[in-house]
Structure 1
Amino acid sequence: MKFRAFAAVAAASAMTVTLSVAPAQAHNTHQQPAPAITNVKTLAEGLGGPLKVAFGPEGRILVAEAFAGKITSVSPTGAKTTLVNAPGKEIAGVSHARGTTYYFENAGATGEEPPSGLTPALLKSIDKQGKTRTITDLAKFERKHDPDGQTVYGVRDASASCLAQAPELRSMGELYSHPYSSLPGRNGVYVGDAGANAILHVNNQGKVSLVKKVPAEPVTITEAVQEAAAEMDITVPDCMLGHTYWAQPVPTDITIKGNWLYYTVLPGVPGESLSKGKVYKMNLHTKKTQTVATGLSGPTGIALDKRGNVYVAELFGSGVAKIVNGHGVTVLPAMMASDVAIRNNKLVASTEALTPSGKLVTASIK
């Protein structure tokens, strides 16, 4: 992958996490206190990269353990049952509705280097009887349509001599599908594809359509950006200072309330280490898109409570944040919070997600 922040997630980059903790904590200092989160408990431990969580049937919580290639079902008492076991695969994007569980089976384990080229990216389902079927291979849609294939990422306006010093800082969208989040919705499933940089819809017959090509995210190249890039062994020449770096947007999670689809964006290198993450919402009818929040540090999970309040898991930040006046206010401190889900007044979050011993945490929303 070329300059994609998701590669840092996939490789469990401790360096990137270290870089980003300080700015993520800082964005809470000027906000008013958020409503309390109470009754915080650790429901399960020892999870292998719990990057996605979802409410399942009978009060159970479903966890996609990406590093282990599993989906684990956790009971209200913390007992774990393996629902999917695919060693060597990345299992991602678990969701559940109307008795059916959805998930992705991607090539390669998340703890390894991301696979090169266009590899299978399967959307699968498990019905009430436990029967598994493959709905579609999202890589086929990417191969045919490649939504961001004509997008220029990196520095677009540098002179030829300047670009010659760092030619890798400009690239075209690559042919790559890496579905990461799923959401059962109208006549099918919505998909956040972190490889294609697109939000897709798969209908009940397996037909894939484009909902939104997520635009590149602008990051002004400052000395701080230059230094952050250097920590990642990326050289940004002085002639690029002041220019805009158009980062890959990397959609990481999606949810819907009414006619609005909410999604989180974790901008590609070097944006993920500089609290450049955002939340957007798009009207499904008009396609009008609005910015909900900025200044987030690696937002990889989003959920809304029954009042419409937005909560975000900040993987490279200080935990789960509630969006207040367009900014995140940490309400559930945690390391490496990768996802959040809410039902009624119950909140669940996966934490310590970039480790082999992740946790599933539950809490109550007042």
Structure 2
Amino acid sequence: MRFRSIAASAAAAALAITLTSGPALAHPGRPGNGHGHSSPPTTHVVDVADGLISPLKVSFGPHGSYLVAQSMAGMLTRIDARGHQRALVSAPGKEIAGVSYSRGITYYTQNDQAENPEEPPSTLLPAKLKSLDARGRTRTLADLSIFEKRHDPDGGTVYGVRRISSTCLDQAPFLQSRGEVYSHPYSTAPTRHGVYVGDAGANDIVHVSPTGHVRLVKSIPAEPITIDDAVVASAAAAGMVVPDCARGLTYWMQAVPTDIELRGNWLYYSVLPGAPGEELGHGKVYRMHLHSGRTELLASGLQTPTGVAIDSRGTVYVSELFGNRISRIGHHGTTTVATPVMPADVEVSGHSMIAVAEALMPSGKLVRMHVR
């Protein structure tokens, strides 16, 4: 299945959570997974701003401010420490995501949207990396749809079931497909020599130079799972009937990069399986050495990991959208450090952690907390 906007693909789940969830930050410092702490891992939890529309990405900004991509509203918003909001970008009908900030420049992605965001666009749409300087001047650094059209790095990848009889596949053609020509840049990580971009449509990570040259960094391999009862049920909920002949077969999922982060020579990224069933807990976090290309798995079994953050000590945090938690990744697994409802992204600076929460609910929030 093609990666759609998270807000669109998760609409039904978001509605269910809206009707059943409690406060946005119930038990904000509760440790999880059996790893105790002498004191709560997060304290001084503050709702900085609310009333946000699909806040899917967040970044620390200039002068103690925060930058929030209100994605489905087509807005990039600057929020100060008191919660005052100012629109930096307003692009109705576009999707704004991938916000980051470095050396006086704000970076973000702007994707054209199909008429129905839950359906694949019939044509390749513009998918731009843009920058905004302190004077308010905007530049388009690259249109990644052009790179995708020319190269389509995963075009030869077979997604779904690779070994299946023709009679079984005839019963469910959706069980097999190839990588399509589609670009949806969704996360950014700037450096002195350009910007790394995670493309959630092309299933790759690219580097964009200051002159706009786009270079493939990594085409992310498909992730295998076994078609079991949970997968069959998830497919049924999406209106797809998996025949009995497909049970027990290996299904190769699209590995969608949802966030990227840089620390030294390592590029960290979260992977959300595009199908079937984002809620099934198949999400992972990896890191890749930029020079050798060596890739290491840091965490698995995550529920919709959509944000990654790394502190100055190298500690990795991940926001799990449908898991309703922010987790710390350690050598012996993950530990819950905060439990906001539907956290779409997380960032850390010093002992300050920020997250956008209730991201797919009618009114999203920007939350700040102290992290030990």
Please tell me whether residue 260 in structure 1 is matched to residue 263 in structure 2.
no
Equivalent residue number for residue 68 of structure 1 = 73
Please tell me whether residue 248 in structure 1 is matched to residue 254 in structure 2.
yes
State the SS of the aligned residue for 2:231: helix
Cα deviation, residue 15, structure 1: 2.9
Equivalent residue number for residue 203 of structure 1 = 209
Q: Identify if the C-alpha distance between structure 1 residues 60 and 129 changes in structure 2 by more than 3 Å, giving closer, same or farther.
A: same
Match of 2:131 among 125, 134, 141: 125
Distance 1:126 1:298 in 2: 30
For the 8 Å contact 2:258–2:307, the answer to whether it is kept is: yes
Distance 1:235 1:16 in 2: 23
Distance 2:2 2:151 in 1: 21
Equivalent residue number for residue 313 of structure 1 = 319
Distance 2:42 2:335 in 1: 12
For the 8 Å contact 1:37–1:331, the answer to whether it is kept is: yes
Please tell me whether residue 55 in structure 1 is matched to residue 60 in structure 2.
yes
Distance 2:88 2:75 in 1: 7
Match of 1:229 among 235, 242, 247: 235
For the 8 Å contact 2:7–2:54, the answer to whether it is kept is: no
Equivalent residue number for residue 14 of structure 1 = 12
Equivalent residue number for residue 337 of structure 2 = 331
Q: Identify if the C-alpha distance between structure 1 residues 64 and 8 changes in structure 2 by more than 3 Å, giving closer, same or farther.
A: closer
Distance 1:255 1:33 in 2: 27
Structure 1 window deviating more from structure 2 (347-356 vs 102-111): it is 102-111
Cα deviation, residue 29, structure 1: 5.8
Q: Identify if the C-alpha distance between structure 1 residues 116 and 7 changes in structure 2 by more than 3 Å, giving closer, same or farther.
A: farther
Query: Residue deviations 1:265-287, cap 9 Å, x none?
Result: 00111141210000000000100
Question: Which of structures 1 and 2 has the larger relative contact order (alpha carbons within 8 angstroms, sep 6+)?
Answer: 1
Distance 2:47 2:101 in 1: 22
Match of 1:155 among 148, 151, 161: 161
Match of 2:358 among 342, 349, 352: 352
Cα deviation, residue 355, structure 1: 2.4
- Counterpart residue type for residue 242 of structure 1: G
Distance 2:226 2:332 in 1: 20
For the 8 Å contact 2:110–2:128, the answer to whether it is kept is: yes
Please tell me whether residue 33 in structure 1 is matched to residue 31 in structure 2.
no
Equivalent residue number for residue 220 of structure 2 = 214
Structure 1 window deviating more from structure 2 (320-329 vs 285-294): it is 320-329
Distance 2:195 2:11 in 1: 30
Give ranges in structure 2 of 5+ residues lacking alignment.
22-30
Q: Identify if the C-alpha distance between structure 1 residues 292 and 303 changes in structure 2 by more than 3 Å, giving closer, same or farther.
A: same
Distance 2:148 2:269 in 1: 20
Cα deviation, residue 326, structure 1: 5.4
Distance 1:15 1:154 in 2: 23
For the 8 Å contact 1:293–1:326, the answer to whether it is kept is: no
Number of paired residues? 358
Distance 1:17 1:327 in 2: 30
Equivalent residue number for residue 95 of structure 1 = 100
State the SS of the aligned residue for 1:14: helix
Distance 1:268 1:323 in 2: 22
Cα deviation, residue 193, structure 1: 0.1
Percent of aligned pairs with the same residue? 52
State the SS of the aligned residue for 2:171: coil
Distance 1:213 1:58 in 2: 36
State the SS of the aligned residue for 2:278: helix
Equivalent residue number for residue 84 of structure 1 = 89
Distance 1:91 1:148 in 2: 24
State the SS of the aligned residue for 1:136: strand
Q: Identify if the C-alpha distance between structure 1 residues 40 and 67 changes in structure 2 by more than 3 Å, giving closer, same or farther.
A: same
Equivalent residue number for residue 152 of structure 2 = 146
Cα RMSD (Å): 2.0
Please tell me whether residue 174 in structure 1 is matched to residue 172 in structure 2.
no
Q: Identify if the C-alpha distance between structure 1 residues 14 and 326 changes in structure 2 by more than 3 Å, giving closer, same or farther.
A: farther
